[in-house]
Structure 1
Amino acid sequence: MEGFYSQENESINIVLVNPEIPPNTGNIARLCGATKSTLHLVHPLGFKIDDKHLRRAGLDYWDKVEIIHHESLDSFLETYDDSKFLLFSARGSRPYTESHFEPGCFLIFGSETKGLPEHLLKKYQDKTFYIPIWGRVRSLNLSTAVGIVAYEAYRNIGFGRHWRIPVDQS
């Protein structure tokens, strides 16, 4: 997958805070492998990292994903500069299309049942966004939401013009 896009050092970070459903995390890991995004898993997780459903959803791509584990939300927040944080929640204040995406940004998503903690949404209210829903559902599946936002981020950053389909899928 060498040379998948030319601005490799400008990828994004996808942050899952306390994810609960293994197949969602596996699907998101696969997306990270496809886009060379870094996956941050903020513990506690609602599953064991060797869960068979997690492995199955990620298929055989785990070795192509950079995963960083954080023991808690506090440890994650203390590790990185929050100027590049963008939070996504059904309780966001503006649509995701108004996000200011930039290389190295952190796209932060909450757990499937609880979302992001209220104190975090208040602290970063001006950096909290939602994905519009027109139908009769409360929210989108976490892996679907991450996919929508991640590809929008890369489109905004300008990676689309550098992408190509890899010849060697090994």
Structure 2
Amino acid sequence: MFKVVLYQPEIPQNAGNIARTCAATGVELHLVRPLGFQWGSPKLKRAGLDYWSEVDYILHDSWQAFLETLPQGGRVWAFSSKVPQLYTEVQYRAGDYLLFGPESRGLPPEVLERFPGVTIPMPGRGGRSLNLAVAVGVGLYEALRQVGWGAGHGI
């Protein structure tokens, strides 16, 4: 239904937790290299537990390789703390790509210039951004809610 894209993720535990979320929701996971960890690292496997066999994932060797797989008219929403548009103010459609940047630096300007950016508000005091796995969960469940996925699924 949706596709979660991790652009150069750095922390294996986050990627593993996101894989579990994708398995639980039936969402495809795309990981764009370079990764900040070794594929198959013990931390990645442990965070993903036994869910890896249930995850439909694709490894892309580069950002360009990922872009070449985008279908004509494919919609990509770039999640970033550096943009004003709230993630709840857009209308998601089945098939949309939800793009998230690396933990330490977020998405680069050239990516944010190419795709519409959305942000998850953080009205508290402090903090540059949410944990990547948390941000993916928040964004993905809003997209799922909007398309009516919750009917019969407990949300």
Which TM bucket (shorter chain)?
Answer: over 0.9
The equivalent residue for 1:98 is: 89
CA–CA distance in 2 between the matches of 1:83 and 1:65?
21
Contact 1:24 1:143 in 2 (8 A): yes
CA–CA distance in 2 between the matches of 1:99 and 1:51?
36
Listed as ranges, the gaps of 5+ residues in structure 2 are: none
Match of 1:41 among 3, 10, 31: 31
Contact 1:84 1:106 in 2 (8 A): yes
The equivalent residue for 2:11 is: 21
CA–CA distance in 2 between the matches of 1:137 and 1:153?
24
Q: Secondary structure at the match of 1:112?
A: coil
Contact 1:15 1:109 in 2 (8 A): yes
Does 2:60 correspond to 1:79?
no
Match of 1:140 among 123, 130, 142: 130
Q: Counterpart of 2:122 in structure 1: which amino acid?
A: I
Listed as ranges, the gaps of 5+ residues in structure 1 are: 1-10, 166-170
The equivalent residue for 1:130 is: 119
Does 2:135 correspond to 1:115?
no
CA–CA distance in 2 between the matches of 1:34 and 1:55?
16
Q: Secondary structure at the match of 1:61?
A: helix
Q: What is the TM-score when the length of structure 2 is the normalising length?
A: 0.94
Q: What is the TM-score when the length of structure 1 is the normalising length?
A: 0.86
Q: CA deviation at 1:140?
A: 0.3
Match of 1:67 among 38, 48, 57: 57
Q: CA deviation at 1:88?
A: 0.2
Pairwise CA RMSD of aligned residues?
1.3
CA–CA distance in 2 between the matches of 1:91 and 1:157?
26
Q: Note the alpha carbon deviations across 1:28-62, whole angstroms, 9 max, x for none.
A: 00000000000000000000111111111111110
Q: CA deviation at 1:164?
A: 5.3
Contact 2:80 2:118 in 1 (8 A): yes
CA–CA distance in 1 between the matches of 2:14 and 2:46?
11
Moved over 6 A (4+): none
The equivalent residue for 1:5 is: none
Match of 1:149 among 126, 136, 139: 139
Moved more, 95-104 or 79-88: 79-88
Contact 1:86 1:99 in 2 (8 A): no
